[in-house]
Structure 1
């Protein structure tokens, strides 16, 4: 679990969690679970079964193995020039910058801007 990314999302953009909950789901409960996780230092074992469901389905996809959006996206392809996921140590920065790019795609994008 990327605790720093979770903290950033909860404190600055809880809408990301809410948007990850399908219609008819309980978005407020998912945000509540995220806040609880922060309060228990990310200890998933401290969650109830229902809370764990919210974590696994609506929170975890935002803080673990997050896909790179790629810079060469086209119909049916992700456009990532790297491994397809954002490195854990880069994830919080991606949320801060609102650019969900892996390190390789960030490098290519920076080179393209410099040219």
Structure 2
């Protein structure tokens, strides 16, 4: 669980928490409060009720986050990926709206470079 990433979300992209609240059907203010409390005091200090909401709504944002995949510039199709992003990449993931796993990043870079070569020819 990456509380540093949660701190980043709290300070820089609170809309992620807002969307997670909506998706879970949970009060947005409560989720924001639980997120702030968890960063300041740690997971163990949460009440049972707070832990439940943390585990259901917040934890999926900061633990075992799946790569978003990428768009194939040739076909325009989305290439799905099941890789889990390393915890150390989560701040970059939220900071840049998306970050790919190593494999998807390599593939996306290759396709972008290949497309540039084709366009130059």
Whether these two folds match at TM > 0.5 is: yes
- Alignment: residue pair count: 108
- Change in Cα spacing, 1:78 to 1:47, as seen in structure 2 (3 Å) is farther
Who is 2:92 aligned against? 93
Q: Which runs of 4+ in 1 moved over 4 A?
A: none
Who is 1:14 aligned against? 14
Using the size of structure 2 for normalisation, the TM-score is: 0.78
**CA offsets, 1:40-91, max 9 Å, x none?**
1xx2110001111111011100000001111258xxx9622xx521111111
Using the size of structure 1 for normalisation, the TM-score is: 0.82
2:102 corresponds to 1:106: no
Give me the whole-angstrom Cα distance separating, in 1, the residues matched to 2:93 and 2:51: 25
Give me the whole-angstrom Cα distance separating, in 1, the residues matched to 2:30 and 2:96: 27
Q: Name the larger-Rg structure.
A: 2
Deviation at 1:95, TM superposition (A): 0.9
Who is 2:36 aligned against? 35
Who is 1:64 aligned against? 63
Richer in helix (by share): 2
Give 5+ residue unaligned stretches, structure 2: 73-77, 115-121
Question: What is the SS of the residue equivalent to 2:70?
Answer: coil
Aligned-residue RMSD, C-alpha: 2.0
Deviation at 1:113, TM superposition (A): 2.1
